[in-house]
Chains A and B, each alone.
Chain A
């Protein structure tokens, strides 16, 4: 029998031949970003121009697509690679710029410096990783870009580097080698042991040790077991899993197959949001390609291990990120959670033992296998190993996807990677963990990012949403925003979550409308603590977090809303007072716009607002062309 590893090596060399014969390694390669975010920014039109140019005579150029490298505010991005040269990274490429790049760079070899984000055009860092290291390739391309200097790419190692729709590309970066390796000479028990020793913890939010979960499921005696990949990324402000799948779908498939081998399962299911059509399409293609190449299906790589993966679509229910709700949804029911135990590892999908991990956790697995538990263990803090991917957004200069070693501080992410707050505004808060997480104030900026430190500070690691908030946002309203979301998404099964969040939302709404009462804060705290303790699933147990953490860190803002009827961010419309300033030229537009008849004045003379009649609709504020209406 030929060993799986040898079969893999043969397949890889065939893949490399195909790549070379396509003139992939011809003189110049053009990579155009084609992830959802890139396409939204207009990359399709840019791609067309390069394809057109390649078709009409540019024979030494190979054009290919790539996933998102994570620099959202620079999209669409285009990289031009030539052997022996620093890859040139063009940003915010318009179709017009693309035409110029074709003419000047591709035809004449001129690097258009002012459009390229090459830091100082120094050579990308190569020394950080040994030759052939899975995580090294990324830095060979992007190592000179400041945005990535504090990052470490394990999960996103291939995102923005390979063509996600081409399995040959994945094979060329040692793809499926981890699977072949375990099938060749690592028994399942030892695979589980490696994952345990690596210290990897679930990246879906709760941080349960992955190896222990695997071990529990492996121990169950059952004819049928399931592997599930949770790709129901519901946090409204997080897109790590979408980017991972869109940029490197095979890594998730490989991770799942290794998991299947370790616990003795032959069937995997990826539960993914229907709102991610491109990610679904790429997964479908990747699964089909993996099947025809023999990495999925019967007798994988000549071994006696068989494993298959199917895709199930979610349908927009946040609660389905909770594992028991997710299982109900796959079974074709309303996605409602049930009490645990029994845990899914004992009794899960169709009552069979089921191993559920999220996208990011699965994507770590091939690296853990290839480079070993010790290497993985060397990254991160004592109790949190490896890296974490965050979707950095909100009031921040560099929005995008960042992957940092555990232990990096929030300050490093906001100021070094994110380049601070735009428009000279003041930092106010950072929100992690989405609707289940909390808001941390400036004093927590030096908190190292790991499961325990964030929890201690009053937030959570969460799945990876990270929103920066500046002085223009009202914290009471931010809390209300998240609670409105969870309230809406509460499935209604248990009363604490269903009724409790509703009451909390009513109180918060009242406060933002200037009708807050003495004792409201205490009421919110009491309700929140009760809901956390008494709810059935993670949704309810974490729903009060945004409120409780903002009360803890921004109590003064709540008090101002309630006692002084003031919103310091000038955000809550009902708490603002409208006055006419001396800029008024007396045009009368505001008088016409006011629905309450609160504005009086004679033409060409300064007008006045009757505070008792004003309904605070802001119609005058919007109508005034002279910025003469002030609101404080």
Chain B
């Protein structure tokens, strides 16, 4: 068994453990969204095979599961890049020039929102208010918030990630 297959296996068994704990509860199907969160936590996105597993284990039709998954913005249907950039497009950031920041990101990464760079290093998402309005405009890379952005600062930040990645 290859290394990555083993990793997949352990993810699947963790997912199954999570579902087993919920299965015994009354109205267990109401926990579907919690299960989808777990899948995304484990895989980084909603992996197709894992979703089939959810359908079989929880006895919920696959169509219903995908119906729910596609309704909510938080769930990713595509595998994200190594670093996930979420640009805040909330009101405070918009008023303080998030549009310009987004343009710069698109220009530097040569992708649109929802896309991933050809080297798989970055993917770009939009966020609706990260709650750091005092630092607007902001973006978040892998959970770290960068505030008071200017187009120039964006270039520098991306350059930092690129450098670190090529150094690895």
Tell me the A residues contacting B by CB distance below 8 Å: 36-37, 39-41, 72-73, 75, 234-239, 242-243, 274-276, 312-318, 329-335, 350, 391, 393-395, 399-400, 431, 434, 465, 467, 469, 473, 478, 481-482, 485, 491
Across the interface, which residues of B come within 8 angstroms of A39, CB to CB? 145
A469: nearest chain-B partner, CB-CB: B95
With beta carbons under 8 angstroms apart, the residue of A75, A315, A465 that contacts B134 is A75
Closest chain A CB from B104 CB (angstroms): 10
Question: Do A40 and B135 touch (CB < 8 A)?
Answer: yes
B64: nearest chain-A partner, CB-CB: A333
Question: Do B37 and A72 touch (CB < 8 A)?
Answer: no
How extensive is the interface on chain B, given as a class? 35 or more
Distance in angstroms between the alpha carbons of A322 and B40 in the assembled complex: 25
Across the interface, which residues of B come within 8 angstroms of A317, CB to CB? 71-73
Question: Do A236 and B128 touch (CB < 8 A)?
Answer: yes
Query: Given the known A-B contacts A237-B90, A313-B33, A434-B91, are A334 and B68 also in contact in the complex, defined by CB atoms under 8 Å?
Result: yes
Question: Do B94 and A391 touch (CB < 8 A)?
Answer: no
With beta carbons under 8 angstroms apart, the residue of B95, B128, B135, B138 that contacts A467 is B95
Question: Do B92 and A399 touch (CB < 8 A)?
Answer: yes
0/1 string, B120-154, CB within 8 A of A gives 1: 00000001111111111010000001010000000
Distance in angstroms between the alpha carbons of A332 and B31 in the assembled complex: 6
Any chain A CB within 8 A of the CB of B59? Answer: no
Closest 6 A/B residue pairs (Cβ): A72-B134, A237-B91, A315-B72, A316-B74, A393-B92, A236-B90
Closest chain B CB from A382 CB (angstroms): 31
Question: Do A465 and B91 touch (CB < 8 A)?
Answer: yes
Any chain A CB within 8 A of the CB of B96? Answer: yes
Query: Given the known A-B contacts A315-B75, A332-B33, are A41 and B147 also in contact in the complex, defined by CB atoms under 8 Å?
Result: yes
Across the interface, which residues of A come within 8 angstroms of B96, CB to CB? 394-395
Residue of A41, A236, A242 with highest tally of chain B CB at under 10 A: A236
Question: Do B133 and A72 touch (CB < 8 A)?
Answer: yes
Closest chain B CB from A366 CB (angstroms): 24
> A-B contact count, CB below 8 Å?
126
Any chain A CB within 8 A of the CB of B164? Answer: no
Question: Do A431 and B91 touch (CB < 8 A)?
Answer: yes
A398: nearest chain-B partner, CB-CB: B134
0/1 string, B1-43, CB within 8 A of A gives 1: 0000000000000000000000000010111111011000000
Across the interface, which residues of A come within 8 angstroms of B67, CB to CB? 334
Selected A-B contacts with CB under 8 Å, 21 pairs: A36-B130, A40-B145, A41-B132, A41-B134, A41-B147, A72-B134, A234-B128, A236-B89, A275-B128, A275-B131, A313-B33, A314-B72, A314-B74, A315-B37, A315-B75, A332-B31, A334-B68, A335-B72, A399-B136, A400-B134, A481-B91
Closest chain B CB from A512 CB (angstroms): 12
Closest chain B CB from A344 CB (angstroms): 16
B133: nearest chain-A partner, CB-CB: A393
Question: Do A333 and B68 touch (CB < 8 A)?
Answer: yes
Closest chain B CB from A432 CB (angstroms): 11
Query: Given the known A-B contacts A317-B71, A317-B72, are A394 and B131 also in contact in the complex, defined by CB atoms under 8 Å?
Result: no
Question: Do A236 and B132 touch (CB < 8 A)?
Answer: no
Across the interface, which residues of B come within 8 angstroms of A236, CB to CB? 89-91, 128-129
Residue of B36, B72, B136, B145 with highest tally of chain A CB at under 10 A: B72
Question: Do A315 and B94 touch (CB < 8 A)?
Answer: no
Across the interface, which residues of B come within 8 angstroms of A350, CB to CB? 27, 30
Question: Do A40 and B138 touch (CB < 8 A)?
Answer: yes
Across the interface, which residues of B come within 8 angstroms of A467, CB to CB? 91-92, 95
Residues 57-101 (chain B) with a chain A CB within 8 angstroms: 67-68, 71-75, 89-92, 94-96
Distance in angstroms between the alpha carbons of A431 and B147 in the assembled complex: 23
Question: Do A275 and B74 touch (CB < 8 A)?
Answer: yes
Closest chain B CB from A566 CB (angstroms): 20
Closest chain B CB from A226 CB (angstroms): 12
Across the interface, which residues of A come within 8 angstroms of B30, CB to CB? 330-332, 350
With beta carbons under 8 angstroms apart, the residue of B29, B31, B36, B127 that contacts A315 is B36
Distance in angstroms between the alpha carbons of A103 and B35 in the assembled complex: 50
Question: Do A40 and B147 touch (CB < 8 A)?
Answer: yes
Closest chain B CB from A210 CB (angstroms): 26
